[in-house]
Amino acid sequence: MTCCAGPIVADCARENISAARYALLDEMKANARTLSDGSVNYSLSVPQIHCGNCITTIERGLGKLPGVKAVRANLSLRRVSVTLESMARSPLMIADGLDDLGYPAQPLSREEADAGDPELKMLIRAMAVAGFAFANVMLLSVSVWNGAENATRDLFHFVSALIAIPAVVYGGLPFFRSALSALKRRRMNMDVPISLGVSLATAMSLYESFQGGRHAYFDAATSLLFFLLIGRTLDHLMRSRARAAADRLARLSAKGGFVVGAAGETSYLPLAALQPGMIIRVAAGERFPVDGTVVEGESDVDRALVTGESDPQHLGRGTGVEAGTLNLTGSIDIRATRAAGDSFLAEVTRMMAAAERGRGTYERLADRMARLYSPVVHILALTSFLGWMIYTGGGWHQSLTVAVAVLIITCPCALGLAVPVAHVVASGRLFAAGILMKDGSALERMATVTDAVFDKTGTLTTGEPRVRHCAIPAGELSGIAKALASRSIHPAARALAAFIAVPAAINLQKLHEVPGHGVEADYNGRTVRLGRISWVQEIAAAGKNDEILSGVAFAVAGGPVYVTTLSEQVRPGARAMVASLEAQGLGLSVLSGDAEAQVASLARSIGIDHYEAGLKPGEKLARLKSMAEDGARALMVGDGLNDAPALAAAHVSMAPASASDIGRTAADFVFTRESLASVSFAHHAALATSRIVKQNFALAIIYNIFAVPLAMAGQLNPLIAAIAMSTSSIIVVGNSLRLYRLEMNETAAEDQASTRGMAPGRAAA
């Protein structure tokens, strides 16, 4: 959905903006999303975002603009999402605000044009130059350390300068540009003290070289840049993985589709022009551009994006299909049910892009510490300089050396990487396991849950009823029952229609569906019914029979009632999930709107002792609120429209990809695979991520506790400070990478057992 162009045109006329800016605003307008409350959401690419301080600056700066309701900066995707209160607000102020903050915006389409990740190439080149200079300057420094004197020492210093100075200028560009941009706007960021430390070390070394001094620190300047660039490159690679996951999803979207007209003619329309209700023809080998329902044709499709399963699935008339699904074998006509911007693929892409937007406890702590970093570092460096000036009686050389070492060793790269790298790695691992994380803070909340609460139908079971026992005799009666069942969209009727093997070639008259009861028709002058037992018994010869309690009934007027009992298939991995969560000490319960007998049978079959049946949506919500008041932190797993309030109210929530749109929107995690092992794996990953983050914080804090006093005491020269600082960052990144080794604990045998397990139940949740 887009907003009107009036404010944009007015702004352009008033301010005589450039063609590039007009193109940016035009794309912002085209990609704008109008929300239910009338506010408008805009997204922009901001390549200059590279640290937590950038996020804080952007969100605070844009949040002060008039009409701005919400601002989210995404570090992995380097995008900014801004919600304005109405269409009347021009998005021009967003772009201007970003320019004023020193973070120029560009259209999202530029991300595709900038193929090959130019920033990564720049970082690798800078790292190569710094590494070459570091290696060669270190070789020359070894000779000086081993006793080279006078002219030889001076020659080595000057050769080192010739190597180091160009390397510092080129390799330091990422830091110098960022620092200058911040200083121009009277702000501080982490790159300011880094740039100051590198510049002072180089200037001191050059001064010493011309003065014939015994020590120069070109090796410290080049090594600092080399190790800093290693850390920044690793950080960039980790974030590129998150961007690549979202970009791969975006590329699965078709660019448009062939719309079938009233006379059967086809015309190609771009993706943005496809609207609900249109008939779209999708040929074999093409991807479905929007969500829809098959109205003509049959085909096999690859739904791995939705289910995580690689086996093709057959589609026929009336079957729903999601955008991004690949059509494999035959041409199909679908009726679009949602616009491209609201499709399942678009929803999943937005969830991937939003994986870091949440601000959890640890991330807020890291942000606060990073904001304090620059002033604290400069105060420590200045204090060290003044203290050593007093101690040495004006020895500025030693005092400045100590101050430079303090500036270098207090770089908060390890602290800044502690949370985001762990979250990026964890979200990537979850995505590989078919679990989409909507909010970075959800990982922290998942790690603290004390209870797990499950819906039944569609969550613990597949939600698709199957015939357990059919009493309808073969022959003419089965044909009548199938003809009735084929005209109903009720899941129970569809299951019966699939079960009966005879053709539905029965001529029925006055066939219609009675809402809440079933399907009715005339056959050879007699009424036939299929549906609710009490309703079908009204026309049966025996009348009402209270002994028949559940199932789908069929009868011909004046004849007996034939009951088909249904069962639901337990989701694969259910027992493994229950065992895993119980081993972690979580309390487990089932909250369902189904009848008590069916809920009890299902709960017992998978090993859950506590269950509540016959609950309405409001009662589920009240139960979760009661648990929260008692101090419990509940994980809610549900799928239906009636579960949405409970999903939103829970401490953290999960939903399968087959859930209703509202259910998926309300959940913090969505799992695309059939197996419930996804639930226990998400909990396991959250616990592991929490441990990794705490370890990263501990490493960063312990490093500073020991390193800073040593540097202030003059026990570390700038070279040792540079190596120590960079090593701490690399250790934090390496520690976070251990999350990639997480494995889903589920055996094939248990999956098969779960698949075979059947629990009696009704078709309704």
Instruction: Give catalytic residues, as residue numbers.
Output: 455
Contact, 496 vs 601, CB < 8 A?
no
Residue found under tokens 């044909």: 479
Helix, strand, coil % in the chain, rounded to nearest 5:
55, 15, 30
State how far the alpha carbon of 105 is from the alpha carbons of 14, 42, 44, 65, 232, in Å. 21, 12, 6, 16, 22
- The Cα–Cα gap between 183 and 176 comes to 10
Distance CA 104, CA 98 (A): 6
Sheet arrangement for strand 652-656: 435-437, 669-671, 652-656, 634-637, 451-454, 587-591, 610-612
Here the tokens at position 733 are: 């990144």
Residue 249 CB-density burial (10 A; 0-12 exposed, 13-18 middle, 19+ buried): buried
Q: Report the alpha-carbon angle 521-524-525, nearest 5.
A: 70
Cα separation, 196 vs 1, in Å, equals: 48
Task: Give the C-alpha separation, 596 to 607, whole Å.
Answer: 16
Q: What is the dihedral of CA 361, 367, 368, 370, to 10 degrees?
A: 140
Quick check: helix, strand or coil at residue 361? Answer: helix
Which amino acid, residue 383?
A: T
CA distance 476 to 485: 14
> What is the DSSP code (8-state) at residue 325?
P
Residues 6+ apart with CB under 8 A from 423: 355, 356, 363, 440, 443, 689
Which stretches of 500-559 are DSSP H helices? Answer: 533-536
CA distances from 195 to 110, 233, 292, 370 (A): 30, 17, 55, 16
Q: Is the dihedral of CA 270, 271, 272, 277 positive or negative?
A: positive
Are 439 and 354 in contact by the 8 Å Cβ rule? The answer is yes
**What is the C-alpha to C-alpha distance for residues 316 and 332, in angstroms, rounded to an integer?**
9
Q: Decide: 667 and 445 in contact? Cβ < 8 Å.
A: no
- Pairing status of strand 256-260 against strand 279-282: antiparallel
DSSP 340: G
